[in-house]
Amino acid sequence: MESPFVIVDLDRTPAREPDAGDRDRVVIGVAAEPRDAVEGFDVFLTRVSDPPRPWAGCADPYATAGQLGRIVESRPAACVALVQVLRMGSGLAIPDRLILESLAYSTLQGGTAFRSWLAAAPRRTPRPAETPVRLDRDGFRLSITLDRPWVRNAFDSATRDALCEALQVAVADPSIRRVDLYGDGPAFCSGGDLAEFGTSRDAAQAHLVRVHRSPAALLHRCASRVTAHLHGACVGAGIELAAFAGRVVAAPDTVIRLPEIGMGLIPGAGGTASIPARVGRERTAYLALSGVELGVGEALQWGLVDEIGETGETGETGDEMDDSATAAQRAFRQ
């Protein structure tokens, strides 16, 4: 069987356009110094510490490429599905990207890699909240707070539904000029609640639920009014949803990670739509494939966050926030 990935050493081989055989492979380009990117590559790696988009910098890009190759070999279905979704999504509107992501996610839920991960994972006891999302209205301003601090605001179905209800208020009421999204406790959001992983036995029905109860879709609709305030762990859904916001403010302790490939899955909370709109599909692929932790400094350089500061202290009025979000929103409207 053909390898599920290909590494092209751009220092030794002239840049080439991908061929038909690359449709079901992860294509990684490596060079010591950044150069003009070629369409069709999924990841670009260089040793330069702060390279221009779409390159990702690392100390040893050739070793990192080899490590990515081993990850792809260990989870080929999830890795190939990821880059295919990212490639196809670049030509779709955000609502259609969310549907594409969900279809791929449901497919992978029935895969061997996810079932193996699930069987090996320790059993976790659900720890629900009576009110997983808290709302506070002050004039034209609405504050939405994820409120399960004892599990670092892990995202369960009740939190999803409550967040949808909160965002529907913002979407339906144009007098709300500013929406602030917070997470209570030590972390903004530690990602999907592992106590619920694998509890749905109907992947097709799960797809319909994700599409019809989608915080990502609602965030997209009111994004120009939303500021996400990040701190601590922003894992999986914690960054996928936040990246839809017109403005993202991150505390210095913020750490970002996309862990889904290790589970045999892809980001499923909208990340294949929101994160590429901010950093490009190649850097999104690198984050998801590698599972690397991204510190707040590099996230700022990439444009995944807009400001480093204490959460909740942006010093902007609602109108000023709308102006500052204009550039980010252009990408979401495409």
Question: Based on the domain organization, do 55 and 122 belong to the same domain?
Answer: no
Residue 145 DSSP SS3:
strand
Assigned domain for 80 exists: no
Quote the number of domains for the chain: 2
Assigned domain for 87 exists: no
Question: Based on the domain organization, do 207 and 264 belong to the same domain?
Answer: yes
Question: Based on the domain organization, do 47 and 171 belong to the same domain?
Answer: no
Question: Based on the domain organization, do 176 and 285 belong to the same domain?
Answer: yes
Per the CB < 8 A criterion, the answer to whether 101 and 89 are in contact is yes
Per the CB < 8 A criterion, the answer to whether 53 and 279 are in contact is yes
Res 317 pLDDT > 60:
no
Identify the DSSP state of 74. Answer: H
Q: In the chain, where do the E strands start and end?
A: 5-9, 26-30, 43-46, 56-57, 133-138, 141-146, 178-183, 226-230, 233-235, 247-250, 255-257, 294-295, 307-308
pLDDT tens by residue, 297-312: 999 999 999 999 986 5
Res 318 pLDDT > 50:
no
Res 125 pLDDT > 60:
yes
So what's the pLDDT on residue 19? Answer: 72
Assigned domain for 85 exists: no
Please name the residue that has the structure tokens 């991204």: 294
Based on the number of CB atoms within 10 Å of its own CB, is 70 exposed (0-12), middle (13-18) or buried (19 or more)? exposed
Q: Is 286 left (phi over 0), alpha (psi -120 to 50) or beta?
A: alpha
So what's the pLDDT on residue 15? Answer: 65
Residues whose CB falls within 8 Å of the CB of residue 315, separated by 6 or more in sequence, listed in order = none
Distance, CA of 210 to CA of 207 (rounded, Å): 5
- Residues comprising the chain, all counted: 334
Instruction: Give the tokens for residue 240.
Output: 């996928």
Winning range, highest mean pLDDT, from 36-40, 179-183, 191-195? 179-183
Assigned domain for 86 exists: no
pLDDT (mean) for 146-155: 97
Question: Based on the domain organization, do 65 and 128 belong to the same domain?
Answer: no
Assigned domain for 150 exists: yes
Per the CB < 8 A criterion, the answer to whether 149 and 185 are in contact is yes
**Beta pairing partners, 179:** 142, 226
Question: Based on the domain organization, do 134 and 249 belong to the same domain?
Answer: yes
Last residue of a domain, one of 45, 74, 103: 74
Distance, CA of 211 to CA of 104 (rounded, Å): 13
pLDDT (mean) for 154-165: 97
Res 329 pLDDT > 60:
no
So what's the pLDDT on residue 325? Answer: 38
pLDDT tens by residue, 185-221: 999 999 999 999 877 888 899 999 999 999 999 999 9
Nearest C-alpha neighbor of 149 from the set 111, 182, 195, 105: 182
Neighbours of 173 (CB within 10 A): 13
Domain that holds residue 206: 93-333
Question: Based on the domain organization, do 113 and 243 belong to the same domain?
Answer: yes
Question: Based on the domain organization, do 174 and 288 belong to the same domain?
Answer: yes
Question: Based on the domain organization, do 203 and 247 belong to the same domain?
Answer: yes
Confidence band for 36, pLDDT divided at 50, 70 and 90:
confident
Distance, CA of 133 to CA of 162 (rounded, Å): 6
Question: Based on the domain organization, do 117 and 63 belong to the same domain?
Answer: no
Amino acid present at 185: G
Assigned domain for 266 exists: yes
Per the CB < 8 A criterion, the answer to whether 161 and 196 are in contact is no
**Beta pairing partners, 134:** 145
Last residue of a domain, one of 14, 45, 74: 74
Residue 323: which CATH number? 3.90.226.10
Question: Based on the domain organization, do 102 and 165 belong to the same domain?
Answer: yes
Last residue of a domain, one of 19, 40, 74: 74
pLDDT tens by residue, 246-296: 999 999 999 999 999 999 999 999 999 999 999 999 999 999 999 999 999
Question: Based on the domain organization, do 171 and 238 belong to the same domain?
Answer: yes
Assigned domain for 79 exists: no
Assigned domain for 147 exists: yes
Distance, CA of 211 to CA of 95 (rounded, Å): 9
**Beta pairing partners, 29:** 8, 44
